[in-house]
Amino acid sequence: MSNWSWRDGHRRLAVLLAFCFTAAALVAACGGGGDSGGGGGSSSGKKVDMAAELKKPANLTIWAWTPGTEKAVAMFEKAHPNIKVRLQNAGQGATGGHYRKVRTTIKSGKGLPDVVQMEFQYTPSFLLTKDLLDMTPYLPKNFLSNYPEWIRNQVNIQNGIYGIPWDSGPLAFIYRKDLLKKAGVKTPIVTWDDFAKAAEQYHKAMPDSYLTNLPGGQTGQWLGLFWQNGARPFTTDPSNFKADLTSPQVKQVTEYWDKLYANGSISHDADFASAWYQGFAKGKYAGWISAAWGPIFLQSYTKSSKGQWQAQALPVWKAGDKTSANWGGSTLAVLKATKSPAAATELARWMLTEQKPVRMFSAEPQFLFPTVNWMLKDPNWLNTKYAFYGGQQVNKVYADMASVVDKSWQWPPIFEYVNTTGDAIRSKSVDQGKGATVTLQPWQNAVVNYAKQQGLTVAGQ
Amino acid sequence: MTEATVTSVAASTRRGRGRRKAGTHHGVKGFLFTAPFMVLFLGFFIAPLLYALYLSLFREQLVGGNAFVGLDNYKDGLSDPDFRSGVGRVALYMVVQVPIMLGLALVFALILDSAKVWFPRLFRVAFFMPYAVPTVIAALMWGYIYGRDFGPFADIADKLGTSPPNFLSEKLMLWSIANVATWTWTGYNMIIFYAALRAIPSELYEAAAVDGAGAVRIARYVKLPLLRPAILLCTIFSIIGSIQLFAEPQIFYAIAPQVIGKAYTPNLYVYNLAFSDQRLNYSAALSFLLGLIVFIFSILVMYMSRRQEETR
């Protein structure tokens, strides 16, 4: 202790310390600089000689979180012995930090994957920063004619193809038939009015349980509900950006849910968190407004209720209507900086359009809802009975929903901001009992401010 | 980080002493000895800082490129309500959590050192163990314990027929986080205090005993004054840790996004600005402001400690 000359070191220590932790605070903030451009990509409409390109050996890295991808990669490697593929799971979607990591590696220019899983809603945002490869030259002619129109619109932006559609997320309502029966709730629930009554009736009969849980956050799910009601809050074009989050169609949705929050007949726990999974395991939630991929997340927590689940059409605003929307759904996109654009595009195309992998993804336990037309029309697939759903031919329900998803919806090119800001302010307000409607104007203002600050041209401003 | 700081501090004091003894003539030789440290120091501490400083003077937009904006980012930062409320929050946290944690660590260290406990090694390891648990794992674990529906508290409350306190609510969140940090870091600080106590020469104790001092008086008038440097060191590390609070709120975001939001602590805000909003320049400027705040706090603590020492 005696040789510790504390006082002598005082000033030097202070300076050092201050430096050290600023550095720590900054490690986060310091990406590399400069453009990550370059790489390959003859952007014009010219087709590339793929047969010649694919004979060259290539090493690819793919970042994806969907279960089963490892199987599809193995299939691809078997069919392409000269292409080696490294699969990495950088986190499950936005919650798992996937997009942040993609952004960081793009900024640093090091350790870049060639192919990345990209949900529909993120494609325009990565396109705005010019990080995605136009895959057109590496794909067969009229490639997109294999997909329904609304799916086509998700990847066909600015006359390019910026992703191979993987799965989509048509919204429906899934519920525990045993619990609803016990509470005396009649199914199917046709309109949102019926749904509100059913939620009250259910919670009265089962005080520890709720017909559904709708978190204040989870912007993706909320946008799906707005979408179903005909709201079109965004445009993709950064030179004519529109944000309209206070339209009557949006307000009708938030006011509806605010009523259910206020009378306590539904819960608003944060989703995809441990308590939420436990909530399904222990029957706290009897249903979920979810997309076709829903069971992926539930199956390991619902072993005791396996076979008790049912899917039904999403309730509608007017009896007799049939409307739905989309939540989630992915593509595989190729980053512009890839050194092997041909091989990377082929990996995405092969895994997501060839019979073997597509059939694997579209079956239990993957539960992905396919996007290619031939699979959507496959009678065997449509008639498949799922054990999770107690033998229900659930694909018919989702195919029905997918057929009524409106195709004019557009994603904002600043989705990350729209999403995180929406999550933050809406979840806080709902948790404090103030509801979702009061957050629409602040959200709108924040989005418009951010868009202007980032140099987008905002329509009507 | 902490380790690196310790070595750099040690290296700097070593350098200082060497120079004094050898005089200025052998400066070149001395510099050669410290060159490996200096290279790493410049490369990993100073260069990123300068780069961040450079970044913080620009504003890069998603559309329309990059422009020099001078100190605009700093001006925005000083009036940013999210940043200011975050700083206020960690300051409150610091004022409450650091004394509790260091107080506990000190008491534990004195008890262990008093040689009046059974199985001192076992206790030493047990207290230190939480530090070996990675912060992220600790936060996940506590997130489960705090759970309102299915955690152990929920079970106990259920058995008693009441509902458990909502540890993750807006009111309690900061203290729930403080509890996790205290759990993690008390043992670490205790080990530092304990090591310092073991280094006190036993002659001092003998002298005190001859003078008729009991265990408590020895602790108060012999041990504590000699522990001052260690306490000061731990205080400063803890202040840095508090202001840089990040991992716990980041993990708790998943289970309580409604409370954490995007800017619960300044570091979390900086992270979200950089990687979600892609405002790297602004987040670099905020990092510097944050660094400045830590610097001011550290200087303040050292100043107060020195004054106290001088008045004695």
* CATH, residue B128: 1.10.3720.10
* Whether residue A128 sits in one domain with residue A40: yes
* Whether residue A318 sits in one domain with residue A334: no
* Whether residue B200 sits in one domain with residue B83: yes
Query: Which residue of chain B has the CA closest to A209?
Result: B149
A456 interfaces chain B, CB cutoff of 8 Å: yes
Residues 255-314 of A with CB under 8 A from B: 270, 272-275, 278-279, 282, 284
B226 interfaces chain A, CB cutoff of 8 Å: yes
Convert the pLDDT of each residue in A194-205 to its tens digit.
999 999 999 999
Q: Which of A15-24, A161-170, B56-65, B294-303 has the lowest mean pLDDT?
A: A15-24
Please report whether residue A460 resides in a domain. Answer: no
Closest CA–CA distance from residue A168 to any residue of chain B (Å): 24
Q: In this predicted model, which residue has the larger pLDDT, A21 or B256?
A: B256
* Whether residue A251 sits in one domain with residue A184: yes
A20 interfaces chain B, CB cutoff of 8 Å: yes
Helix (H, G, I), strand (E, B) or coil at A271: coil
Please report whether residue A378 resides in a domain. Answer: no
- B193-196: long-range contacts (C-beta < 8 A, 24 or more apart)? B193/B105, B193/B106, B193/B109, B193/B110, B193/B227, B193/B230, B193/B231, B193/B234, B194/B109, B194/B112, B194/B113, B194/B124, B195/B230, B196/A1, B196/B226, B196/B227, B196/B229, B196/B230
With a pLDDT cut of 70, the percent of chain A lying above it is: 90
* Whether residue B125 sits in one domain with residue B161: yes
Q: Pull the structure tokens for residue B95.
A: 């004022």
* Whether residue B151 sits in one domain with residue B100: yes
pLDDT at A396 > cutoff 50: yes
Average per-residue pLDDT in chain A?
A: 88
Average pLDDT over residues A180-190: 94
First to last CA, chain B: 34
Query: Range of A205's domain?
Result: 170-325+409-453
Nearest to A284, CA basis, from A303, A266, A309, A259: A266
Whether residues A278 and B5 touch (CB distance < 8 A) is answered with no
* Whether residue A154 sits in one domain with residue A194: no
* Whether residue B254 sits in one domain with residue B175: yes
- B219-222: long-range contacts (C-beta < 8 A, 24 or more apart)? B219/B110, B219/B114
Query: Range of B44's domain?
Result: 21-51
* Whether residue B99 sits in one domain with residue B26: no
In the prediction, which pLDDT does B26 show? 65
Q: Kindly list the residues from chain A whose CB atom is less than 8 angstroms away from the CB atom of residue B13.
A: 5, 8-9, 12-13
Convert the pLDDT of each residue in A242-271 to its tens digit.
999 999 999 999 999 999 999 999 999 999
Please give the ipTM for the structure prediction.
Answer: 0.79
* Whether residue B26 sits in one domain with residue B169: no
* Whether residue B29 sits in one domain with residue B103: no
* Whether residue A227 sits in one domain with residue A109: no
In the prediction, which pLDDT does A132 show? 96
* Whether residue A224 sits in one domain with residue A203: yes
Query: Which residue of chain A has the CA closest to B15?
Result: A9
Please report whether residue A377 resides in a domain. Answer: no
With a pLDDT cut of 90, the percent of chain A lying above it is: 74
Helix (H, G, I), strand (E, B) or coil at A267: strand
* Whether residue B44 sits in one domain with residue B96: no
Please report whether residue A24 resides in a domain. Answer: yes
* Whether residue A305 sits in one domain with residue A238: yes
* Whether residue A120 sits in one domain with residue A90: yes
* Whether residue A199 sits in one domain with residue A280: yes
- pTM for this model (two decimals): 0.84
Q: How many domains does chain B have?
A: 2
In the prediction, which pLDDT does A95 show? 79
**8 Å CB contact between B179 and B142:** yes
B55 interfaces chain A, CB cutoff of 8 Å: yes
Average per-residue pLDDT in chain B?
A: 86
In the prediction, which pLDDT does A310 show? 94
Convert the pLDDT of each residue in A61-117 to its tens digit.
999 998 899 999 999 999 999 999 999 999 888 878 899 899 989 988 888 999 999
* Whether residue B219 sits in one domain with residue B135: yes
* Whether residue B93 sits in one domain with residue B45: no
Whether residues A284 and B149 touch (CB distance < 8 A) is answered with yes
Residues 386-415 of A with CB under 8 A from B: 413-414
Convert the pLDDT of each residue in A332-376 to its tens digit.
999 999 999 999 999 999 999 999 999 999 987 778 999 999 999
* Whether residue A210 sits in one domain with residue A351: no
Please report whether residue A91 resides in a domain. Answer: yes
Query: Which residue of chain A has the CA closest to B252?
Result: A273
* Whether residue A48 sits in one domain with residue A83: yes
* Whether residue B47 sits in one domain with residue B133: no
B49 interfaces chain A, CB cutoff of 8 Å: yes
In the prediction, which pLDDT does A63 show? 97
Residues 89-118 of B with CB under 8 A from A: none
Q: Kindly list the residues from chain B whose CB atom is less than 8 angstroms away from the CB atom of residue A24.
A: 1, 244
In the prediction, which pLDDT does A290 show? 92
Please report whether residue A385 resides in a domain. Answer: no
Q: Which of A5-9, A119-123, B53-57 has the lowest mean pLDDT?
A: A5-9
* Whether residue B173 sits in one domain with residue B306: yes
